[in-house]
Amino acid sequence: MTNCLSDKFRLNPNLRLVEYAGQYFTYDTRASRSPLIELPTKEISEKEYLALERLKTRGFFIEPRTKSETLAYFAEEGLTSAIFETFLQQNFLKKYISSENSIKRKVVNHFDNLYRKDDAIGDLQPAPPFDESDDNLHVFSLNTFFNLPININPTDCHIGLLGFPHASLDISVGTEAAPNLLRLHSRSISWFDVFKQGVYTEITTEDYRPSLLCKGTIVRDAGNLSFQGATLMEMLASVKSVFAQDFFACQVYPIILGGDHAITYPIVMAYLEEIPNLGLLHLDAHNDLFYTPDIIYNHAAPLSNLLRRTSIEQIVSFGLRTTADRRVGIVNSIYKKANASKRIQLHSLIALKQMIMNPMHLEATLGNLSGRPYYLTIDLDVLSESAIGGRVSTPLGHGLEWHELFYFISAAFQNLNIIGCDIVEYNALNGERTESHQLNSLILLLIDRLSKNNPKHQDASNQASEKLATDRSIQ
């Protein structure tokens, strides 16, 4: 069979480039649509980045080019023939197949598969490819949040996304899978594209136009915490160490994806050792105040643990809606023995909805809490059961709708200094459907608002604005 492949080359149309966190990367534009791609997200050298950028932006590969033409152009641009071979091996350059030859190839392959057989065994044998060098080296992309690379230095980041796949009770066992499921949901979005262009939202508007989220924000997937076989004290020490090294020391603001609500206790404990006046902003259908004389690590007790075992001064809960519960003595104990009356404020779902309907009331309530940094914890059962599709450990009927949750979060960030947050209790073993778009929107909103609170990002934004102003004055 005659080889139908041309000796011409083209730039891989799926190739994208980005300078991110002081590093240079190539990535595949199709990663957000398929797990199987041609170009894995990969760090490249500055020299390779500049060479590829020239090839993409100066129009040389508008038409397919022969190897000799390409090498001649490389020589003019000061690029070596070795770079050509490297780009070819890495699939940045591809052999060009004309439409005519592509059709011929499909027809010939069809008939070869139809009629070629091994007479000895009578089975159909697959036809060989026209040219094995044209077989793409497809790879499975990594399961990371928003298709992020895994080798980003935290010192260059504004936000870190950290999985905490931990379930404390049988009822919440499905939350152990939540961080990786949320990663899968988020892979419909490429963070590099968000970094370069942002995403627009109508959750908030500016001058009657959609506002922009996340542009220029450097985010890192910090992986998952794991404590299989560890004691409670070992887990607390490990959480403290991870936050000290990867977040506090690098001035990275975290978004922790749980896991059930038990994880908030060790996280806030680590924060309080670093920031003693930290307050806790708590969105939940349940008060999580179930007192026991000894430490209890489960998702019904993170707030009582914090009140008894730390010096936290301020916890404010919103969205509560327990209708009737006989465990009166258990709750009364936390008020008596941990002085909860002076340290915690509880707001029912009705009160929260009234605040959302009255922006001045909401702003006044939040304004009265100002004066300290806050950690925000979001139990997804604060949403209505229909809004979250029942995919939480303990769904509780009516609750907030997504737009109300987004509105409250925006108002909270506008009025308070929030420096970290978690999202807990997503449980795909329950319910019937997944609001993946809304979950992605929630994470994007939190990334945007947290990054704007991070002084490191503010400094970078100010420097970029000053540079732009300087460039314009020179022009």
Strand partners, 318: 283, 347
Q: Once rounded to an integer, what is the mean pLDDT over residues 170-179?
A: 94
Inform me whether the pLDDT recorded for 4 exceeds 60. Answer: no
Tell me what percent of the residues of the chain surpass a pLDDT of 70. Answer: 85
At residue 96 the predicted structure's pLDDT band, cuts being 50, 70 and 90, is confident
pLDDT in tens, 355-400: 999 999 999 999 999 999 999 999 999 999 999 999 999 998 899 9
Residues 6+ apart with CB under 8 A from 115: none
Q: CA-to-CA distance for 112 and 268, rounded, in angstroms?
A: 65
Q: CA-to-CA distance for 450 and 457, rounded, in angstroms?
A: 10
What pLDDT sits at residue 367?
A: 95
pLDDT in tens, 423-445: 999 999 999 876 789 999 999 99
Beta strands in 148-227, from DSSP E residues, in sequence order = 159-164, 199-206, 209-213, 219-224
Apex CA 307: angle with CA 303 and CA 310, to 5°? 115
Q: CA-to-CA distance for 166 and 174, rounded, in angstroms?
A: 9
Q: What is the DSSP string of 138-161?
A: -EEPP--GGG--S---GGG-SEEE
In this structure, of 236-250, 261-275, 308-322, 328-342, the range with the lowest mean pLDDT score is 328-342
Residues 6+ apart with CB under 8 A from 114: 124
Residues 6+ apart with CB under 8 A from 128: none
Q: What does the H/E/C string look like for 393-413? A: CCCCCCCECHHHHHHHHHHHH
Burial of 357 (0-12, 13-18, 19+ CB in 10 A): exposed
Q: CA-to-CA distance for 382 and 265, rounded, in angstroms?
A: 18
Q: What is the Cα gyration radius of the chain?
A: 27
> CA dihedral in degrees (137, 141, 142, 145; nearest 10)?
160
Neighbours of 313 (CB within 10 A): 15
Q: CA-to-CA distance for 218 and 41, rounded, in angstroms?
A: 16
Tokens of 433: 């459907």
CATH H-level, domain 145-461: superfamily: Ureohydrolase domain (3.40.800.10)
Inform me whether the pLDDT recorded for 128 exceeds 50. Answer: no
More confident residue, 318 or 95: 318
> Under a CB-based contact definition with an 8 Å cutoff, are residues 399 and 387 in contact?
yes
Inform me whether the pLDDT recorded for 344 exceeds 80. Answer: yes
Q: Where are the alpha helices (DSSP H) in 244-287?
A: 264-274
Of 190, 192, 180, nearest in space to 223 by CA: 180
- pTM exceeds 0.75 for this model: yes
Q: What is the DSSP string of 339-356?
A: -GGGTEEEEEHHHHHHHH
Please provide residue 375's backbone torsions phi and psi, each rounded to the nearest 5 degrees.
-105, 135
Inform me whether the pLDDT recorded for 205 exceeds 90. Answer: no
Q: CA-to-CA distance for 463 and 294, rounded, in angstroms?
A: 51
Provide the mean pLDDT of the chain. Answer: 87
At residue 133 the predicted structure's pLDDT band, cuts being 50, 70 and 90, is very low
Q: Once rounded to an integer, what is the mean pLDDT over residues 34-39?
A: 86
Element (H, E) at 248: none
> Under a CB-based contact definition with an 8 Å cutoff, are residues 10 and 96 in contact?
yes
Across the beta sheet with 373-379, the strand order is 219-224, 159-164, 253-258, 417-424, 373-379, 279-283, 315-320, 344-348
What pLDDT sits at residue 311?
A: 93
